[in-house]
Amino acid sequence: MNYDKIVCNCMSVTSGMIKEAVEGGADTLEAVQDATGAGTVCGACLDDVERLVKEFAAGHDR
């Protein structure tokens, strides 16, 4: 996985930033939104953000 890939264009949040947030304890979409701002502007990336949160929380990419 490319951790430098931008998932949320509005807030310039990358996959790696979401992974770090999840590893830091943000294990829900809402917690990741609070930690990173991802998905809080236009919402176009919400499906991708939520998928990544679930993937990282389940440990599929460790």
pLDDT per residue as tens digits for the range 6-31: 999 999 999 999 999 999 999 999 99
Q: Which helix (H) or strand (E) holds 56?
A: helix 46-57
Using a cut of 0.85, tell me whether the model's pTM lies above it: yes
**Separation of alpha carbons 23 and 29, rounded Å:** 13
pLDDT per residue as tens digits for the range 29-62: 999 999 999 999 999 999 999 999 999 999 866 5
In the chain the domains, ranked by start, together with CATH numbers, are 6-57 (1.10.10.1100)
